[in-house]
Amino acid sequence: MNCLIVLAFLVACTLCVHGQFEDGGHHHDHHLEEYIDYKAPPHYHYDYAVHDLKHHDIKSQWETRDHDETKGVYTILQPDGRKRIVEYVAGKHGVDYKVKYEGHSEHGGIGALSG
């Protein structure tokens, strides 16, 4: 008798588990939720660039972060024709920027161009 009860219980459990993946003969995809460790130290890298000569929009940036330190560089073509380059490092004790320029300032620059 006990074997019959155990067997009936196992069949019921199998049907319940099987019923999670089937509904009336139609299969449904069930996705497991992604585990996100919110206490893990941050780590990422990204970069992008725009080079639109028609609108004089030329810029780029990259940034990377590993734990508490973030560093990166961005560049932009300014209206006076110079390229501004900004390097930065940020961490527990603040942020440090280094700004430099390439090229020479032109009277009127790209901002004065028509079209």
Domain membership of residue 30 (yes or no) is no
Question: Which of 52, 53, 51, 49 has the alpha carbon at shortest distance from 62?
Answer: 49
Q: State the 10-residue block means of pLDDT for the chain, 115 residues long.
A: 59 56 56 82 95 94 96 96 97 96 80 50
> Does the reported pTM lie above 0.75?
no
Specify the pLDDT at position 113: 53
Specify the pLDDT at position 107: 73
Domain membership of residue 11 (yes or no) is no
Specify the pLDDT at position 3: 59
Query: Can you give the residue range of the structural domain that contains 61?
Result: 43-112
Domain membership of residue 68 (yes or no) is yes
Specify the pLDDT at position 16: 55
- How many domains does one find in the chain? 1
Specify the pLDDT at position 12: 64
